[in-house]
Structure 1
Amino acid sequence: MFGLAALCLLLLQTGAHGFGIFGSSLTHQKITERALLNATVQVCRSLALAEGKDFTFPPQPFTAESTAAACEASKSTKSFLQTICSIKKNNWQVDIRFFLSARRHFDNEEFEDGRKIITDGLSAVKASNKRENFEAATTKLGQILHSLQDFYSHSNWVEMGNKRPNSNLIREGSSIGNIAAKGRETCRNCDGDNCRNNILEDVLEQKILTSGYFGFLPFKPRGKCSHGGRADITSFVPPRGGINKDSFDASHGHLHAEAANLAIAATTELLEDIRGAAGDKPFLQMMGISKGKPLCFVVDTTGSMSDDIDAVRTVTSSIINSKVGTEDEPSIYILVPFNDPDFGPAMKTSDPNVFKDYIQSLTASGGGDTPEMSLSGLQLALTSAPSNSEIFVFTDAPAKDEYLKGSVIALIERTKSVVNFMITNIFSGFRRRRQLEDSQQQQYSRMAASDTQLYRDLAQASGGQAIEVTKSQLLDATSIIVESTSSSLVTLLQAARSSGKEESFTFSVDESVKNLTVYITGSSVSFTLISPSGVSQESSNTTGSLIITSQSVGNFQTLQLQSQVGLWEMRTTSTNPYTLKVVGESPIDFLFDFLEESQGPFGGLDVVDNRPKAGVNGSLLVILFGSDSATVTEVTLVESSGSGQVNGTVEAQGGGEFLVRFDKIPSVEFVVLVKGQNSDTSKASPVLFQRQSTTSIRASVVTITAEDSESVLVPGTPLSVPFSVTTSGSGGNFTIQVTNDQGFNSTSPSSLAVEDGSSANGTVTITAPLNTLSGTDVTLTIEAEAPGGTDTNYVVIRFTVLTPVTDFTQPECQLLSLQSNCSEDCSSAAWEVSVQVDDGAEGTGVSRVDLRQGNGTMNISLAADNENITLVSYRSSCCSPDVELLVVDGVGNIGSCFYTVRTQAVTTSSPQDPTTAAPTAAAVVSLSTRAVQSFLLCISITILGFLWIH
Structure 2
Amino acid sequence: MTSSLLWVALCLLLPSPFRAFKPLFSLDGESLTHRQITVRAVLRKTAEACQSLATAEGRGFSLTIDDSLTVTKVQSACSSDGSALLSFTAFHTAVAKLYFSNALVDVAMALSEKHHFDDEAFSGGRDVITSGVSAVKESVKAQRFLSGRLVLGWVCHTLQDFYSHSNWVELGNRVPYTTLIRPDLPLTNLADPSTPTCRNCVAGNCNDNILSEVLQQGLLTSGYFNLLFSAKPAGKCSHGGSFDQTSGQDAVGGINKDDVGASHGHMHQVAAEVAVAATTELLEDIRAFAGDRGFLRLMGLSQSSVLCFVIDTTGSMKDDIAEAKRVSFSIIDSKRGSQQEPSAYILVPFNDPGFGPLLTTTDADIFKQKINELQAKGGGDIPELCLSGLQVLALTGAPPSSEIFVVRDAPAKDAALKSTVPALIESTKSVVTFMLTDNLRSSRRRRRDTVGGTSNRLPESDAQLYRDLARASGGQAIEVTKAELPQATSVIQDASGNALVTVLQVSRTPGKPENFTFTVDSSIQNLTVYITGGSLSFAMSSPTGVSQNSQTSGPLGTMETVGNLRRISLNSANQTGSWEIRIISTEPYTLKVIGQSSFNFIYSFVEAANPGAHGDFSLKEGRPLSGANASLLVTVTGSDTATVSEVSLVDASGSREVNGTLRSLGEGSFLVTLADVPEGEFVVRLRGEDSAPSRSQTGGGFQRQASTQVKTSSFSVTAVSNSTVLEPGSTVSLRFTVTAANGTSGTFAVRATNDRGFVSASPATVTMTTGGTAEGTVTLTAPASTASGTDITVTIEMENTGTSDTNYAVLQLSVVTKITDFTPPQCQAVTVSASNCPVVCSHGDAIWELSANVTDGNGTGVDRVTLRLGNGTLNTSTATGAGGENVTVVSYTAPCCSDAVELVVIDRAGNVGRCAASIGKAVTATTLAITSAPGANVTGSPVVAITSSGGRCASLSLGLGLGVAFCLLLGGLL
TM (norm. structure 1) is 0.92
**Secondary structure at the counterpart of residue 766 of structure 1:** strand
Distance 1:266 1:387 in 2: 28
**Secondary structure at the counterpart of residue 383 of structure 1:** helix
Mapped contact 1:58–1:70 kept (Cα < 8 A): no
Distance 1:370 1:830 in 2: 69
Matched, 1:46 2:52: yes
Matched, 1:697 2:706: no
Q: What's the CA shift for 1:412?
A: 0.5
What is the percentage of aligned positions where both structures have the same residue? Answer: 49
Matched, 1:154 2:183: no
Q: In terms of mean alpha carbon deviation, does 526-535 or 598-607 score higher?
A: 598-607
Q: In terms of mean alpha carbon deviation, does 116-125 or 176-185 score higher?
A: 176-185
Distance 2:136 2:149 in 1: 7
Write out per-residue CA displacement over residues 445-471 of structure 1, whole angstroms, 9 at most, x where no aligned residue. Answer: 566343121111110000001112222
Matched, 1:897 2:915: yes
Mapped contact 1:613–1:665 kept (Cα < 8 A): yes
2:39 aligns with one of 33, 37, 40: 33
2:386 aligns with one of 363, 374, 397: 374
Q: Which residue of 2 aligns with 1:614?
A: 626
Distance 1:569 1:245 in 2: 55
Structure 2 letter corresponding to 1:211? S
Mapped contact 2:87–2:638 kept (Cα < 8 A): no
Mapped contact 1:846–1:889 kept (Cα < 8 A): yes
Matched, 1:219 2:236: no
Q: In terms of mean alpha carbon deviation, does 511-520 or 550-559 score higher?
A: 550-559
Q: Which residue of 2 aligns with 1:133?
A: 144
**Secondary structure at the counterpart of residue 115 of structure 2:** helix
Mapped contact 1:706–1:721 kept (Cα < 8 A): yes
Residues 233-382 of structure 1: pairs in structure 2 closer than 5 A? 233-379=245-391, 380-382=393-395
1:780 aligns with one of 794, 797, 810: 794
Mapped contact 1:12–1:605 kept (Cα < 8 A): no
Structure 1 letter corresponding to 2:810? V
Matched, 1:66 2:78: no
Matched, 1:745 2:759: yes
Distance 2:798 2:945 in 1: 68
Write out per-residue CA displacement over residues 696-735 of structure 1, whole angstroms, 9 at most, x where no aligned residue. Answer: 1101112111122201121111211121222225322211
**Secondary structure at the counterpart of residue 770 of structure 1:** coil
Q: Which residue of 1 aligns with 2:405?
A: 392
Q: Measured at CA, do residues 861 and 489 of structure 1 come closer, stay the same or move farther in structure 2, by a change above 3 Å? A: same
Q: What's the CA shift for 1:562?
A: 2.6
Structure 2 letter corresponding to 1:272? E
Structure 2 letter corresponding to 1:733? T
Q: Measured at CA, do residues 234 and 435 of structure 1 come closer, stay the same or move farther in structure 2, by a change above 3 Å? A: closer
Residues 507-906 of structure 1: pairs in structure 2 closer than 5 A? 507-540=518-551, 542-547=552-557, 549-563=558-572, 564-598=575-609, 602=613, 604-679=616-691, 686-728=699-741, 729-788=743-802, 790-820=804-834, 821-823=836-838, 824=840, 825-841=842-858, 843-863=859-879, 868-902=886-920, 903=922
Structure 2 letter corresponding to 1:532? P
CA RMSD of aligned residues (A): 2.7
Q: Which residue of 2 aligns with 1:942?
A: none
Q: Measured at CA, do residues 844 and 441 of structure 1 come closer, stay the same or move farther in structure 2, by a change above 3 Å? A: farther
Q: Measured at CA, do residues 707 and 242 of structure 1 come closer, stay the same or move farther in structure 2, by a change above 3 Å? A: same
Q: Measured at CA, do residues 592 and 835 of structure 1 come closer, stay the same or move farther in structure 2, by a change above 3 Å? A: same
Mapped contact 1:648–1:663 kept (Cα < 8 A): yes
Q: Measured at CA, do residues 257 and 702 of structure 1 come closer, stay the same or move farther in structure 2, by a change above 3 Å? A: closer
Q: Measured at CA, do residues 431 and 693 of structure 1 come closer, stay the same or move farther in structure 2, by a change above 3 Å? A: farther
**Secondary structure at the counterpart of residue 879 of structure 1:** coil
Q: Measured at CA, do residues 559 and 861 of structure 1 come closer, stay the same or move farther in structure 2, by a change above 3 Å? A: farther
Q: What's the CA shift for 1:46?
A: 0.3
Q: What's the CA shift for 1:928?
A: 5.1
Q: In terms of mean alpha carbon deviation, does 626-635 or 19-28 score higher?
A: 19-28
Q: What's the CA shift for 1:900?
A: 2.4
Structure 2 letter corresponding to 1:557? R
Mapped contact 1:430–1:445 kept (Cα < 8 A): no
**Secondary structure at the counterpart of residue 459 of structure 2:** helix
Matched, 1:452 2:470: no
Structure 2 letter corresponding to 1:18? F
Distance 1:653 1:164 in 2: 29
Question: Where do 5+ consecutive residues of structure 2 fail to align?
Answer: 1-13, 967-974
Distance 1:449 1:831 in 2: 74
**Secondary structure at the counterpart of residue 225 of structure 2:** coil
**Secondary structure at the counterpart of residue 609 of structure 1:** coil
Structure 2 letter corresponding to 1:384? G
Write out per-residue CA displacement over residues 344-382 of structure 1, whole angstroms, 9 at most, x where no aligned residue. Answer: 222112222222222223233212322111111111211
Write out per-residue CA displacement over residues 757-815 of structure 1, whole angstroms, 9 at most, x where no aligned residue. Answer: 22211111111111111111100000001124531000000000111111112122233
Write out per-residue CA displacement over residues 860-912 of structure 1, whole angstroms, 9 at most, x where no aligned residue. Answer: 33448999543332211111111111011222111111122334576445642
Mapped contact 1:519–1:558 kept (Cα < 8 A): yes
Q: Measured at CA, do residues 674 and 767 of structure 1 come closer, stay the same or move farther in structure 2, by a change above 3 Å? A: same
Q: In terms of mean alpha carbon deviation, does 211-220 or 147-156 score higher?
A: 211-220
Structure 2 letter corresponding to 1:895? G
Mapped contact 1:58–1:67 kept (Cα < 8 A): no
Mapped contact 1:59–1:66 kept (Cα < 8 A): no
Structure 1 letter corresponding to 2:186? S
Q: Measured at CA, do residues 101 and 934 of structure 1 come closer, stay the same or move farther in structure 2, by a change above 3 Å? A: farther
Distance 2:350 2:638 in 1: 38
Matched, 1:123 2:134: yes
Q: Which residue of 1 aligns with 2:972?
A: none
Residues 479-498 of structure 1: pairs in structure 2 closer than 5 A? 479-498=490-509
Q: In terms of mean alpha carbon deviation, does 72-81 or 410-419 score higher?
A: 72-81
Q: What's the CA shift for 1:513?
A: 1.2
Distance 2:885 2:568 in 1: 60
Distance 2:315 2:337 in 1: 36
Q: Measured at CA, do residues 19 and 561 of structure 1 come closer, stay the same or move farther in structure 2, by a change above 3 Å? A: closer
Q: In terms of mean alpha carbon deviation, does 846-855 or 11-20 score higher?
A: 11-20
Structure 1 letter corresponding to 2:565? F
Q: What's the CA shift for 1:29?
A: 2.1
Structure 1 letter corresponding to 2:225? F
How many residues matched?
921
TM (norm. structure 2) is 0.90
Mapped contact 2:114–2:124 kept (Cα < 8 A): yes
Write out per-residue CA displacement over residues 165-222 of structure 1, whole angstroms, 9 at most, x where no aligned residue. Answer: 1111112243122222221122223344443433233323333221111224332101
Write out per-residue CA displacement over residues 90-129 of structure 1, whole angstroms, 9 at most, x where no aligned residue. Answer: 2223234433322111111111111111111111111111
Structure 1 letter corresponding to 2:876? I
Distance 1:780 1:14 in 2: 27
Mapped contact 1:58–1:66 kept (Cα < 8 A): no
Q: In terms of mean alpha carbon deviation, does 132-141 or 638-647 score higher?
A: 638-647
Mapped contact 2:542–2:580 kept (Cα < 8 A): yes
Residues 905-944 of structure 1: pairs in structure 2 closer than 5 A? 907-909=929-931, 911=933, 912-913=936-937, 921-922=947-948, 923-924=953-954, 926=956, 932-933=961-962
Mapped contact 1:166–1:176 kept (Cα < 8 A): no
Structure 1 letter corresponding to 2:553? T
Structure 1 letter corresponding to 2:811? I
Structure 2 letter corresponding to 1:737? R
Matched, 1:423 2:436: yes
Q: Measured at CA, do residues 568 and 431 of structure 1 come closer, stay the same or move farther in structure 2, by a change above 3 Å? A: farther
Q: What's the CA shift for 1:627?
A: 3.0
Q: In terms of mean alpha carbon deviation, does 432-441 or 176-185 score higher?
A: 432-441
Distance 2:278 2:707 in 1: 39
Q: What's the CA shift for 1:294?
A: 1.4
